[in-house]
Amino acid sequence: MLLPFLFLALLVSLTPASARWVSDLCPGAPGALTPPLPLPPGMAEPDGPLNFVLVARGKATQCGTQTWARAKTYDAGCVLTLPPFFGALAPDMSCRALDIAYPQIGAVPQIALEIVELGNQLTATDPGSGLSVTLNVSARIAPPRVNRLYDLDWTSYNAVAGDSGFGTEVLRIYTAGGVPRRCREGRLPDEVDYAALYWFYK
């Protein structure tokens, strides 16, 4: 009788280590951020409720019709509890994200999801469990700010496959970097640092 109980207790204790869901990363963090509404023309407001917000930092390139990005993401609620983000507004977060250290336990960064964008498709994967969701682009618009020629487009996505527990719609907004200063269509452009906020909706 004791053996099944011990096995169940061990299984429960190991679950968080194998599947680091975003909502479990920072239980004491501030509530979810709210994106600015209305969104810029050409980008529709998602139908479902906000699930979570991630701040991403990685490498990307955008040159003509070519787009590629790879990033690790962190719970925006975690980041908001640390300097210099404490009390920061969303537009400041992605710009500062290129230069900050992320929340970690010991020497292990608390990665939420790994993001890969290729062409018109985005895949978000939980590195702990291996679960993922794949989304297709539904809209792209130039960053709605002045003199930000080298920031990735703001983009919305709709889920087409995978685990819908992550969300069915995603917005990538408040982008910083990701566009090389020199690019020639047809040639492989340089990768540059980028950061962005990814808003996942149920």
**DSSP code string of 147-201:** T-TTBPPEEEEEEEEE-TTS-SEEEEEEEEEBS-SS--TTS-PPPEEEEEEEEEE
**Region of 130 on the Ramachandran plot (φ > 0 left; ψ -120 to 50 alpha; else beta):** left
pLDDT number for residue 143:
87
Q: How many folded domains does the chain comprise?
A: 1
pLDDT of residue 166: 87
21 lies in some domain: no
Provide the pLDDT confidence category of residue 189 given band limits of 50, 70 and 90: low
In a domain, 5, yes or no: no
Residue 147 inside a domain? The answer is: yes
**pTM score, two decimals?**
0.79
In order of 45, 150, 175, 197, 200, the CA distances from 116 in angstroms are: 23, 20, 15, 14, 15
Whether 29 is covered by a domain: the verdict is no
- For 77-125, the pLDDT digits (tens) are 666 655 555 555 556 666 666 665 554 444 444 677 999 999 999 999 9
In a domain, 117, yes or no: yes
Is residue 124 assigned to a domain?
yes
Does a structural domain hold residue 25?
Answer: no
Q: Is residue 139 part of a domain?
A: yes
Q: Domain range holding 64?
A: 54-181+191-202
Residue 30 near residue 85, CB atoms below 8 Å = no
pLDDT at 63: 86
For the stretch 137-163, pLDDT in tens is 999 998 887 667 789 999 999 999 998
